[in-house]
Amino acid sequence: MRNYIIRRALINIPVILLVATLVFFATNALPGDFVAERIAQNNPTEGGPEERAAQIQRIREDLGLDRSIPVRYVDYITSLMRGDFGTSYQSGRSALADFKAGVPYTLQLSIMAFAVALVTSIPIGVISAIRQDSFVDYFLRFFAILALAAPSFWVGTMILLYVVRWDLWHVPITSRPLLWESPGDSIRLFIIPAVAGGLAGGAPIMRLLRSQMLEVLRQDYVRTAWAKGLRERAVILRHAFKNALIPVVTVIGFGIATLISGNVIFEYIFNIPGVGNRILAAIRARDVPVVQAFVIIIATVVVFVNLAIDVLYAYIDPRIRYS
């Protein structure tokens, strides 16, 4: 197992470098110029064309933007190998510092949405399977299809609309507290995007778990467990549920990546200063180092989440061995 993990981790390094290369050339192909936009915003009418051109050239030299793209690419990859993600054009701070500032908000939203996804999807998938073709099964399948079809941002917007209209609770507008700072205000702020994102992320898990449970329940070893007189709870949880988890774990892993990317929409709608909201602000400002750092870090997380899922297979099913 250790050799497998080391080998996979080494294979992931070229993948991350490829992502970094694609991100570098994609961000440098974006339309617009950060320097020209910043001068236009700060001094829209001062100076003549020659003075403005000289000022733009001076700032571009300070930022290293006057060099050719191949030279900047080599410097970028070299710095990345040293753990240097560059410096933000706007703030002058490390691009990694901007990412760290948004991590607590994105992490809290992702954990809450992931908890909602698991709490709703696993019971629904299991109950729907063991009550196949009953009214409960039809209702739960309808709910799963509805959650899968409805866009998560629309669900979040509708929940917010009716919460405000019916005055169920007040969503904080001026403050953006985290859970350990102000639990009550934090939950009121995060619960709506967490529910909307969790339902959207849990819908594929519901449907896949139901189909896998139905397949496992027809296996001979499950029939043998029934014939031995084991209780329904023991048969379902110990024999059927665990053996149905292998493909479900894969979907859960991809769901984690989906929640991270989906948080961009929820953070923008609810004005949460997380990673997604910050990367949108960086794209609008043409702050290329921040965009590059954010995308590379998120891609790295997704790559190693997939590795963790593969390792988890061996613990769920003892028949799986990695050499």
- The CATH number of whichever domain residue 204 belongs to comes to 1.10.3720.10
In a domain, 265, yes or no: yes
In a domain, 36, yes or no: no
3-state secondary structure (DSSP) of residue 279: helix
Percent of the chain with pLDDT over 90: 0
> Where would I find the H helices in the chain?
2-28, 34-42, 49-63, 69-81, 95-130, 135-149, 152-165, 183-217, 220-227, 232-234, 242-243, 245-269, 275-284, 288-316
Note the pTM of the prediction, 2 decimals. 0.78
**What pLDDT, on a 0 to 100 scale, did the predictor assign at position 261?**
61
In a domain, 69, yes or no: no
In a domain, 168, yes or no: yes
* Six token digits for residue 56: 């733009």
In a domain, 125, yes or no: yes
pLDDT tens digits for range 78-119: 888 888 887 887 777 888 887 888 888 888 888 888 888 889
In a domain, 18, yes or no: no
Q: How far apart are CA 57 and CA 293, in angstroms?
A: 25
In a domain, 203, yes or no: yes
In a domain, 307, yes or no: yes
**What pLDDT, on a 0 to 100 scale, did the predictor assign at position 150?**
81
**What pLDDT, on a 0 to 100 scale, did the predictor assign at position 174?**
64
**What pLDDT, on a 0 to 100 scale, did the predictor assign at position 79?**
84
202 with 118: CB under 8 angstroms?
Answer: yes
Q: How many independent structural domains does the chain possess?
A: 1
State which of 43-47, 203-207, 218-222 shows the largest mean pLDDT: 203-207
Determine the structural domain holding residue 298 and report its residue range. Answer: 103-316
